[in-house]
Amino acid sequence: NAGVTQTPKFQVLKTGQSMTLQCAQDMNHEYMSWYRQDPGMGLRLIHYSVGAGITDQGEVPNGYNVSRSTTEDFPLRLLSAAPSQTSVYFCASSWMYEQFFGPGTRLTVL
């Protein structure tokens, strides 16, 4: 099992550019989520999904879109990048009480 994979590991964008952060899991988990971690802070929930075709907003959803067409994949789209979106992004899938986190994507918006 690869667990939760995220690509890319690092990304630099210019203000106004769009991009998609990829997330995939091979554990057949229904629940997946995206978090962002800013320096010196805990993770904050951006969007989550309880199964294919079902998504909902978390604490900080503005500027991000998600879709869930399959159980395995949960991409996060930045519509028009802003410097405030500079952060480390973690994707996670969960089963019972354990959340399995991906390695993270470090995004810098100039």
Partner 1 sequence: AQKITQTQPGMFVQEKEAVTLDCTYDTSDPSYGLFWYKQPSSGEMIFLIYQGSYDQQNATEGRYSLNFQKARKSANLVISASQLGDSAMYFCASSRKANAGGTSYGKLTFGQGTILTVHP
Q: How far apart are CA 80 and CA 87, in angstroms?
A: 15
At which residue do the structure tokens 């399959």 appear?
70
Using the minimum distance from each CB to partner 1, give the nearer residue, 14 or 96.
96
Q: How far apart are CA 103 and CA 87, in angstroms?
A: 14
Using the minimum distance from each CB to partner 1, give the nearer residue, 26 or 80.
26
Q: How far is the CB of 71 from partner 1 (least distance, A)?
A: 13
Helix (H, G, I), strand (E, B) or coil at 83: helix
**Which residues sit at the interface with partner 1, rule CB under 8 A?**
29-31, 33, 35, 40-45, 48, 50, 58-59, 88, 90, 92, 94-101, 103-104
Task: Give phi and psi for 85, each to the nearest 5.
Answer: -90, 5
Using the minimum distance from each CB to partner 1, give the nearer residue, 3 or 16.
3
Q: How far is the CB of 66 from partner 1 (least distance, A)?
A: 14
